[in-house]
């Protein structure tokens, strides 16, 4: 099967992760895809190892003297948008709007990147679920690479490591990753973005939770006694800068993102994430949140507001810069295929960010996906095949270095 056929097979399996379960993996259904991939790799004659946490490791033995390269993708999909009963549609795109089966409209006015795919075959959703290109496109492209190398033993390559991880979408994809077992000198995550994107810089990231405690008194006798968490929540939210949200920033601009607000009179909580590429600015943002908590304590009482801030991952640039051959070799591979490399700072994170700090330098390659985490997600069949070719060419660059 080619990458497109593999992709269409994999997206039928619901693999949504869930940040509320506290288990690893967070959902048992992620094992369904892991077991399918295990069967496919075993059928190719490869050694495969899986574990109770939902990680799959495999490798293709080297047939020449070249570095051990790893390719990594995650199996889970975003928890917020349904991944159940994905019903893809392939559209011969001639331009203009695409009306999905649900009636939702995928429009180039709203999503200008569509215009780059006129004349290609787009895989879109039915408008009720996400598609799963993040990151089953990466899974499919890596699996296509594995099948190609096994069926073409004349192609020279070093050891090729393959790993598929769970729970990347909830920030836990590297929690139980065994770098030593993987046994590679370095790796590439293959995860999202147009073909040609190459990233070795991510956000620095933290999560923060405000916990609010109020006091309920009969409204008719509440003066000087009631503490209303709904009003505290509103006060907290009003202190965040309006121009520093995901919807008002781009490029290397950081932000605060309010993920959820739950409040009644006596209890409340606010969950948010903090992001910035610059480490100093990142620390300043965390300090802003800590100081905001203190301001609320001074205003409403120390017991009324508390805040916990927890770092999630750091910008992997500092771990990649000593290994810039990873970037230069990927650029060479892209250029050989006539693809203009686009080196971008990721406005997010990847498993590679944490893996780089765990001793496995790991930049990211685009897979061809667009509008991830959305019913408007799409990817072209041509991009899937190009993605697989990019991986093959990267292997060739290292083998012939």
Q: How far apart are alpha carbons 118 and 225 in whole angstroms?
A: 64
Pairing of strands 47-50, 105-106: unpaired
134 is catalytic: no
Buried b / exposed e over 348-368, threshold 16 CB at 10 Å, is: bbbbbbbbbbeebbbbbbbbb
Contact between 254 and 281 (Cβ < 8 Å): yes
Sheet holding 204-213, edge to edge: 255-263, 267-276, 204-213, 305-313
Please state at what angle helix 3-10 crosses helix 381-399, rounded to 10 degrees: 120
CA 130 to chain centre: 14
Sheet holding 89-92, edge to edge: 89-92, 121-124, 378-380
**Options 38, 134, 168, 351, the catalytic residue:** 168
Q: How far apart are alpha carbons 288 and 275 in whole angstroms?
A: 13
Contact between 213 and 266 (Cβ < 8 Å): yes
Q: How far apart are alpha carbons 101 and 113 in whole angstroms?
A: 21
Kind plus residue range of the DSSP H or E element containing 199: strand 197-201
Residue 297: count of CB within 10 angstroms of its CB: 15
40 is catalytic: no
CA 388 to chain centre: 19
**Options 14, 38, 40, 76, the catalytic residue:** 76
Q: How far apart are alpha carbons 364 and 70 in whole angstroms?
A: 12
Residues identified as active-site = 76, 168
């Amino acid at each position: 099967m080619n990458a497109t056929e593999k992709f269409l097979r994999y997206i039928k399996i619901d693999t949504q992760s869930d940040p509320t379960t506290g288990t690893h993996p967070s959902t048992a259904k992620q094992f369904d895809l892991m077991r399918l991939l295990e069967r496919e790799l075993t059928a190719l004659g490869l050694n495969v190892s899986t574990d109770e946490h939902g990680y799959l490791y495999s490798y293709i033995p080297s047939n020449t003297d070249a570095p051990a390269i790893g390719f990594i993708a995650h199996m889970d999909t975003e928890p917020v948008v349904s991944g159940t009963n994905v019903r893809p549609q392939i559209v011969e795109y001639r331009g203009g709007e695409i009306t999905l089966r649900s009636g939702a409209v995928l429009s180039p006015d709203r999503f200008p990147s569509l215009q780059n795919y006129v004349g290609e075959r787009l895989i879109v959703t039915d408008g009720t679920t996400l598609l799963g290109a993040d990151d089953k496109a990466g899974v499919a492209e890596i699996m296509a690479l594995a099948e190609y190398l096994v069926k073409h033993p004349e192609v020279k390559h070093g050891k090729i490591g393959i790993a598929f991880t769970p729970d990347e979408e909830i920030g836990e994809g590297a929690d139980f990753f065994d770098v030593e077992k993987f046994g590679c000198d370095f790796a590439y995550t293959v995860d999202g973005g147009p073909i040609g994107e190459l990233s070795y810089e991510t956000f620095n990231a933290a999560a923060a939770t405000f916990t609010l405690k109020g006091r309920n008194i009969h409204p008719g006798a509440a003066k000087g006694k009631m503490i209303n968490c709904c009003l505290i929540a509103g006060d907290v939210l009003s202190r965040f800068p309006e121009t520093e949200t995901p919807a008002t920033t781009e490029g290397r601009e950081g932000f605060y993102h309010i993920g959820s607000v739950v409040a009644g009179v006596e209890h409340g909580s606010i969950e948010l994430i903090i992001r910035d590429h610059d480490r100093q600015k990142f620390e300043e943002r965390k300090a802003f949140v800590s100081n905001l908590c203190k301001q609320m304590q001074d205003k409403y009482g120390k017991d009324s507001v508390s805040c916990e801030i927890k770092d999630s991952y750091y910008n992997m640039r500092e771990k990649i810069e000593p290994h810039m051959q990873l970037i230069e070799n990927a650029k060479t591979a892209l250029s050989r295929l006539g693809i203009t490399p686009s080196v971008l700072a990721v406005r997010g994170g990847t498993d590679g960010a944490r893996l780089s700090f765990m001793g496995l330098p790991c930049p990211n390659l685009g897979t061809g996906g667009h509008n991830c985490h959305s019913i408007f997600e799409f990817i072209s069949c041509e991009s899937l095949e190009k993605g697989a070719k990019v991986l093959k060419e990267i292997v060739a660059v290292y083998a012939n270095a």
